[in-house]
Amino acid sequence: MGASRPLSEPPQSPLLGDEGPPHRGIAFLSAGLRPFFLAAGFTAAFGVAWWVGFLWGRLSLPTAWPPVWWHAHEMVFGFGTAAVSGFLLTAVPQWTDSRPLSGAPLGLLFLLWVCGRIVFLVGPTPLAVSLVDLAYLPTLTATLTLPMLRGGKRKNLVFPLLLTAMWIGNLLCHLEVHASIQGHMQRGMHLGTYGLVGMIAIVSGRIVPSYTRSALQQRGEPSEIQSSASVEWAAKVALFVTFAAAVLGADARFQGATALLSAALFALRMRHWHSFQTLRDPIVWILHAGHGFLALALLCKGIADLTELFPPTSAFHAFTAGTVGTMMIGIMTRASLGHTGRPLVLRPAITLAYCLVVFGALARIFGAPLAAGLYRETLLAGGAAWAAGYAIFTWVYLPILIAPRADGRSG
């Protein structure tokens, strides 16, 4: 994943901790990906299923927040934060050759995240909800930044910066609830989402070519997988400008133009990644799909900003359900196998989960513009499929993530 060692290499790779003694504590708390990936899967499945039930008129939402705000907030700052926490808590020790967080400290950090979810349902006051929920991201950021500063890998400090941007977004969401300042919720949700997508844009450029090259070589199909340094730089700059313009409320024409430019650059980034050659390897093609959703989301945003042909909410869900949802399930399924000492072989159910998440995202993105008369039906079908995909992930990976490593090593 980092410049030196990808996060989810096959178990035989010499990763940090692979040569250590067997873990003597609770396996569930032996590595950050274990509790947080399970929490991400459960939150995605349960949260979206509950939301679909609410839209269907069969369930109520026990929260003082307006329902649509709660749904959006928990998908970004609940599900998204859990997934990126599991990833970074596993990757940063590799990048910095530092000791991974485990045991009681990991348990306390995870408990803080859990409390942030519970208070939305049972919190005594809005202020108590805000204080508990807002405490998590600064704690995570401090936990990750210290080893980065000590380890000398300063280029990865962009991740704490993006986590800080997410925290500011979360703060804006809570400020609208307390101060009723119009527009803060939308700006905060966009800032949180763009922080997640920014991390995905960086990480995908590192792991997708690496894992694709490895998969093709194992099949005896060596191909030159490469990315242009100039395209990489231009794509990231264009993405930053696009997101900054959106958060700051720049002219819609400027936002649309930068989004279209960014979409073209991220599509160009993939031109030598041999995406079609990965279709026989679901554990690889799902990562290509996640990156493809990034380019698609930027295209949808550009069209929505410049015309009335595409609803802004559909473009926003291209980032959330599409880019974040697809890339996260791809990373979590791969990393969970590699970092529990298991071969990178998927069960057929996980391939089905991939397809359900991709279908659910596409239905949510294109349901309104292409089937306006069936908008409610496509919304419910897409949400149900997306939630089902993550429910399958949670069911299949629960025994993997709570059990000791298959090879008896630590982690």
Answer for the pair 330, 87: CB distance below 8 angstroms, yes or no: no
d(CA 70, CA 47): 10
What confidence tens digit (pLDDT) does each residue in 230-248 have?
Answer: 999 999 999 999 999 999 9
What confidence tens digit (pLDDT) does each residue in 134-146 have?
Answer: 999 999 999 999 8
Answer for the pair 401, 34: CB distance below 8 angstroms, yes or no: yes
Considering only 15-19, 232-236, 323-327, which range has the smallest mean pLDDT?
A: 15-19
Expressed as residue numbers, the domain containing 118 is 27-402
> What is the share, in percent, of the chain residues with pLDDT greater than 90?
68
pLDDT class of 269 with cuts at 50, 70, 90: very high
Q: Where are the alpha helices (DSSP H) in 180-269?
A: 184-218, 229-248, 252-269
Please check whether residue 354 lies inside any domain of the structure.
yes
Please check whether residue 20 lies inside any domain of the structure.
no
290-324 CB burial, b ≥16 within 10 A, e <16 = bbbbbbbbbbbbbbbbbeeebbeebbbbbbbbbbb
Please check whether residue 62 lies inside any domain of the structure.
yes
Q: Which residue has the tokens 């945003």?
A: 301
d(CA 236, CA 241): 9
Tell which wins on pLDDT, 303 or 59: 303
Please check whether residue 101 lies inside any domain of the structure.
yes
Overall average pLDDT of the 357-371 stretch: 91
| pLDDT above 60: residue 8 | no
pLDDT of residue 192: 97
Please check whether residue 18 lies inside any domain of the structure.
no
d(CA 85, CA 65): 25
pLDDT of residue 16: 31
What confidence tens digit (pLDDT) does each residue in 211-232 have?
Answer: 999 899 888 887 788 778 899 9
pLDDT class of 24 with cuts at 50, 70, 90: low
pLDDT of residue 13: 34
Closest to 334 in 3D by CA, of 164, 214, 180: 214
How many whole angstroms from its chain centre is CA 219? 29
> Token pair for residue 46?
């349960």
pLDDT class of 411 with cuts at 50, 70, 90: low
Please check whether residue 73 lies inside any domain of the structure.
yes
Answer for the pair 120, 65: CB distance below 8 angstroms, yes or no: yes
How many whole angstroms from its chain centre is CA 48? 15
What sign does the dihedral 363-328-46-70 (CA atoms) show?
negative
| pLDDT above 90: residue 14 | no
What confidence tens digit (pLDDT) does each residue in 162-181 have?
Answer: 999 999 999 999 998 877 67
**What is the number of residues in the chain?**
411
Please check whether residue 367 lies inside any domain of the structure.
yes
CATH value at residue 318:
1.20.210.10
Please check whether residue 146 lies inside any domain of the structure.
yes
Overall average pLDDT of the 332-346 stretch: 93
Closest to 186 in 3D by CA, of 325, 25, 73: 73
What confidence tens digit (pLDDT) does each residue in 43-68 have?
Answer: 999 999 999 998 888 878 777 788 88
* Number of domains within the chain: 1
